[in-house]
Structure 1
Amino acid sequence: LYSDYLFFNQGDKSPESFHKGVSVVLESLKTCLAINSLRHCLYKPPSSEPEFHIRARIGVYHQYLKEYFRVFPASQILVLKLEDYSKAPAEIIQKIFEFLELSAFPPEKLSNITKSKNPANSRRTNDSTIGPMLPETRRLLQNFYWPHNEQLGALLGKTFNYNLDEIN
């Protein structure tokens, strides 16, 4: 969420403004959830979201995946973690090809793809001086996402329960 904020926010950015935005957006979501379903609140973002460039709703993965699973059989859906791709892009690309029942990608071409020198979504030079998010912001987000991570783990298995990353 923090990298999303840094990448899409063209205005002034700081850990403090991120904290303020997270606080406002999470409070808006809490207010929405008091009278509406989770689905409603995720698909109708709080009015404060564009102002602060905080898209907390996009991290509630289980809700969006449930929508897909209602339409498509689980056997037709491959869910991957960006962290896994970042660590082993060639392995993940091969996994995608296997899932799609395509012939293996030629290793020399795969090497050209995975050794990109300038990733398109890397942090901008000006943003590299902005420090990490504040510890209190991290706690707010952990508390918000905790039940959603539990549901994601129940849906996809414990490797997708990000709460376990926090414990370990």
Structure 2
Amino acid sequence: MRVKWGKRMSLILAINASLLILVLVRYEVRTAAYENRKRLTSYGCTYESERVNINPTEREIQCVGADQHQAEDLFCMERPKYLPNFKNPCWYAKEEGKLRLKCVPYYHILGVAKSSTTDLAYRIRAHKDVLPCNGYRKKQESFYWSRRRYGYENLMQERPPCNFSCFQQMCSDATRSIQQTATPTGYHNMITGDETPSDFSDFRGWPKIPQNAGFEKPVVLTPHLMRHMYADPKFILLFRNPTDRLYSDYVMLGGRSAADFHEAAIQSVQVEEACMRNHTVEHCLYSLDIGKRLQTRIFLGCYSVFMREWLRVFPREQFLIMRTEDHDQDPIARLRTVYNYLKLNYTEDWLSSIANITHQRASGKKLKQGPMLAKTRVLLDNFYRRYNTDLADILQDKRFLWLT
């Protein structure tokens, strides 16, 4: 009887131990989930949504028309009927009783500012089949989607708005060249692009979108507008370590010294975090009023928040996403990836010659200002950490943690 009782006690103890292990495992899982959620909502901030719809469905958005204080309602227009014998998105529209060819860009370098987008744009436009747009700033940036359609200048000063016809007119020279150039089969293979890096993350004009009227938060943003007007857009993104990106951006906009940058960074972090204690992350990053109070454009480096907005509208395969650090380290490999994505023909010798051109728009200002202060880097790395972690999770790529 003692032997049997001993066996029963051993069995009971084993079962209890297994139950204890199961409870501990569940506790650890729940704790990890809580810590992850707490990380994403640190400083009291919350997201509108913590999910990314990788297979987005079309949102039914209705034409409502625009008043004099709003941007043109693009949903009152039909998507152009793009011509199959043109590689670039082009169509015929009737003007003054005549059919005229109209074109919009084939590709967009969406972002982000101070991440070697100018250099990449130059190397793309070096290809014989790529044309610049005549009406763009430096034949590169239209600022249509992020600012000009809302009536804002580069620094968000008021100006007459640019409608969709105005956007098309910016590409009139490229359109003529596209029309006049064709292969022996009659296929028009020339393309043009828009390289406005603020399009990815500058949503501050959202209150002027007619469908957002009366709402405290946007229901329509740039991705929705572009989805309505484009059939198969090609988006290129260069992400740079957001801490380094912010310093370069500050210097470009006239920053005087690393010490001044430190004070500006402190102020920017405090303004954003104070806002996020009472509002969602999206509200604080998309707000024109908050943006005007900042001494730096710190919001542009919160990449994951904007990436989620784009992925709710477009599938992941619409985007070619790279790191600036990789582009700078191996420009030949990166340029090969870009040319393949844009379906541009090339030889390896020619690719090497273009990739080895001196870096474009490399600023000497930062050399004069000196390196960023160590304490500034710690401050900004802490601010951006949650967004970097979120981006690495969205893209399933740990390189976007920028740990090395």
1:72 partner SS: coil
Q: Which residue of 2 aligns with 1:78?
A: 320
Aligned mate of 1:123, from 363, 370, 392: 363
Residue 46 (structure 1) shift: 3.2
| Cα shift readout 1:111-163 (whole Å, capped 9, x = no counterpart) | 3322223521x123x5422211111111110110111111011111212122x
Aligned mate of 2:284, from 41, 51, 61: 41
Q: Which residue of 1 aligns with 2:46?
A: none
Q: Which residue of 1 aligns with 2:271?
A: 28
1:134 is matched by which residue type in structure 2?
A: L
Q: Which residue of 2 aligns with 1:159?
A: 399
1:141 aligns with 2:375: no
**Structure whose residues are more often strand by fraction:** 2
Q: Which residue of 2 aligns with 1:108?
A: 349
Q: Which residue of 1 aligns with 2:304?
A: 62
CA contact (8 A) 2:262 2:373 kept: yes
1:150 aligns with 2:382: no
Q: Distance in 1 between matches of 2:345 and 2:401?
A: 30
1:20 is matched by which residue type in structure 2?
A: E
Aligned mate of 1:95, from 337, 349, 366: 337
After superposing on structure 2, the runs of 4+ consecutive aligned residues of structure 1 that deviate more than 3 Å are: none
Q: Distance in 1 between matches of 2:376 and 2:344?
A: 45
Q: Distance in 1 between matches of 2:384 and 2:366?
A: 25
Q: Distance in 1 between matches of 2:359 and 2:325?
A: 18
Residue 90 (structure 1) shift: 1.5
Q: 1:107 to 1:131 in 2, by over 3 A?
A: same
**Structure whose residues are more often helix by fraction:** 1
2:335 is matched by which residue type in structure 1?
A: I
Structure whose alpha-carbon radius of gyration is higher:
2
Q: Distance in 2 between matches of 1:91 and 1:115?
A: 11
CA contact (8 A) 1:42 1:57 kept: yes
Residue 26 (structure 1) shift: 0.7
Question: What is the TM-score when the length of structure 2 is the normalising length?
Answer: 0.37
1:113 is matched by which residue type in structure 2?
A: I
CA contact (8 A) 2:258 2:369 kept: yes
Q: Distance in 2 between matches of 1:92 and 1:19?
A: 33
Q: Distance in 2 between matches of 1:127 and 1:69?
A: 34
2:291 partner SS: coil
Unaligned regions of 5+ residues in structure 1, if any? none
110-119 vs 147-156, which deviates more?
A: 110-119
Q: Distance in 1 between matches of 2:338 and 2:355?
A: 14
Q: Distance in 2 between matches of 1:88 and 1:58?
A: 25
